[in-house]
Each structure stands twice: as structure tokens, then as C-alpha cells.
Amino acid sequence: MLKLIQNATVYAPEFLGKKDILIAGEKIVAIEDTIDVSTLFSEVIDFKGKILTPGLIDQHVHITGAGGKHGFGSMTPEIMLSEFIACGTTTVVGLLGTDGSARSIKTLYAKAKSLESEGISAYILTSYFGLDAVTFTQSIQDDMIFIDKVVGCKVAISDERSSYPEAIDLLRELKQVRVGGLIAGKKGILHIHLGALSSRMDVLLELVQKYEFPIEHISPTHVGRTLPLFEQAIEFAKLGGMIDITSGGTKYTDPYKSVLYALEKGVSIDKMTFSSDGNAGIGIVNEQGVTIGFKKAPIHLNLKQVVLLVQEGKLPIEQAFKLITTNPAKNLALKHKGSIKVGFDADFCAFTNDLQLTDVIARGKQMMKDGNIIVYGNFETKN
């Protein structure tokens, strides 16, 4: 099936100008100034007056739900397809949180496969907060090799709910991630949840500076939780690491302001990403400090923070959108994702000139049209 996108102003995310894009099935097969429509196309999509970017990537989202620290009733439900489409997310990485008991790694895999069957792309991280790894095969390395969706492993540090791992503990997990990735043809990352304890990122800097472990396999997240933590994250990024700023969780300032601060300190925009930590459980607290209810952490703030970078921070579109397109794709080594190039997956977001999302295409299929979601998940009620 052929589709032709016409007249779009393309940010790939680098600025390409006005282009036509030919899609065959799920792939981009041509990008030209003009593509002759005399050929028989099944569909022509005219994006005249619209900005076109790659589909957005969220590399840290609780697709099967999270929460639970206030009891079973505080556990959040699964995310539905339309929630991702509504904010332009066409690729997700699902993971477990604190809970590796009531939440199942097998259910996580099944949800990723379900989202793929509904039209977007989904990957997962094996394990959870603890060092007592929760895996499919009893081995992180074997999960990397034999489970197609697994692109890395999760663990927590500097958090009262973590296993308080030392450098040698993390090195053992990093070895499994890296060797498993080498065998499976994956990059392999150890995705590290950072809490608010005063140890911050000390052990990660030790891994790089003392043990000389390749920094590209170490993927810290929630680095904007406190200013002292973010200062260490800046040091980590200057050593060549990729740092992940959470758009919807605990933060010392607006995430887009953290990016601007890091840029002022000499960090390359190519060394930062946004992720949502979406669908985690958040307690609703009254004026007396009593928890009176629960809500889901939002998944739409990645895009909002990028738009603020453009509108408030005056960052060019081609720079700001790297945080949720090319950079997470590079961090995870997701082939054919994060850019508008021939041979890449046909994932797109279309915007008005003031960056209001109007259209979403995932793997060649239009999911949102003129601001209206037109494809829903199998068990969703359509509007």
C-alpha cells in the first residue's frame, strides 16, 4: 500500500524544508522536493502549511501500570493506545517500577505486543528496582539474547526502595546487558532510576571513572529530581553519557529549564532526552497532608516541554525535538526510529506553525487526523 505525504515543512528533526514523502507499507521509500502524483497512490495526504517531525519516542513509561505504595487500590491500570496517539507518541519503552511482585514481566511483554498489534512500536526493559532481577529466563543476559522486545535492564539507586547496589553489583548487571546485547545484535543499556538520597550518581561516576566501563551503556533517568543531582548529571553528560530528564515526575524546576541550564553549562543537546515516567501512581493530598485519592502520572508532558523549549527557550525546532526523537533512538539503538529518512519507519507527527499537534502517523497508518484520533485500541470506547 502506497501513501504520499505532500507539501510538508519537514524537520527530520534537522530542517529539510518543504518535501514530499512516499510511504510503502510501514517504511519511508522516498523524500523529494516533489513526487509525481501521476503514479497510482492509494492515498494522498496534503500537509500544506504544517510542520512534520518524526513520531515521538517515550523511553520510560509504565504501560501496564505502576503505583501501589498506598496499597492495592493505588495501582494504576494499563495505558490505552489512544493516550499515546493523543500526544504524538509512536514508540514506547515499557518497564516495571518499584513492584516486581504484583506486576509481571510477562504481562509487560504481552502489553508491548498488544500495542504493536494496535499500530505503534513498543519495547521493554527487563527486571525492576531491585538487584534480585525479575526476568523471563532467570538471566538478564539471556533475556537480552532470547526475548525480542528486551532492549535493556532496569535497576534503582539512591532510593530508599532500592537494593542499595554498589559499583560491583552494577558492573555484574552491566556485563550481562552488554554481552547479551553483543550476541543479540542490540546495544543494551542499564536504565537506572535515581532517587533523592544524598548518594545521588556517585556510583555511576565511579563506574565510568574508576572502572572505565563504556558510558554509553549506562542510562540514568530522573536526573532533574534535585538541583545537586542535576549538577552531577551535567558532569556525567560531559563525560559522554546520555541523561534522561523526567517531564512528569518529581523535579526541582520545569524540565525545559533544566535543559536550558545544561546547555549553558556546556552540555550538548545530543546528550539529553525527555521521558514521561507516565502512568505511575500519584497520591492526591489535601491541605492537612492526608492522601484522599490517586491519579495517573501524565504521559503527554514530553511534547509540552519540547514546545516550551521552542516558544519560551527560543531553541530551534530541529534542536528541541531531538530530545524526544533522535536522542532516545540513539540511546536505545532503535533501528529505523527517531528520524525521517529513507528506509526508516513511517512514524510522523504533524503540527500547526505554533506547534499544535494535528496528525499522527505510526508505521505508515494515520492514527490522528486534523486533531481527531481515528484509530483506537481494541478495548477502547470510540468517541
Task: Write the DSSP assignment of 267-286 as a string of letters.
Answer: --GGGEEEE--BT-EEEEE-
Residue 277 annotated among the catalytic residues of the structure:
yes
CB atoms < 10 A from the CB of 72, how many? 8
201, 158 Cβ separation under 8 angstroms: yes
187 appears as a binding residue in the annotation: no
| Residue 341 in marked binding region | no
> Per this entry, what is the length of the chain?
383
Tell whether the torsion through CA atoms of 333, 339, 343 and 344 is positive or negative.
positive
Distance in angstroms (rounded) separating the CA atoms of residues 96 and 45: 38
Give the whole-angstrom CA distance, residue 123 versus residue 349. 20
Those residues with Cβ within 8 angstroms of residue 60's Cβ, 6 or more apart along the chain or in another chain: 93, 95, 191, 221, 244, 246, 275, 276, 277
62 is in an annotated binding site: yes
Q: Is 222 annotated as a binding residue?
A: yes
* 70 marked as binding residue: no
Q: Which residues, at least 6 apart from 302, have a Cβ–Cβ distance to it below 8 Å? A: 56, 58, 87, 89, 247, 274, 275, 276, 323, 324
Q: Is 277 annotated as a binding residue?
A: yes
Which of these is catalytic: 99, 159, 277, 345? 277
Give the integer Cα–Cα distance in Å for 379 and 139.
Answer: 34
Contact 203, 170 (CB under 8 A): yes
Please identify every residue annotated as catalytic: 277
Q: Which residues are annotated as a binding site?
A: 60, 62, 154, 193, 222, 277
Q: Which residues are annotated as a binding site for Zn(2+)?
A: 60, 62, 154, 193, 222, 277
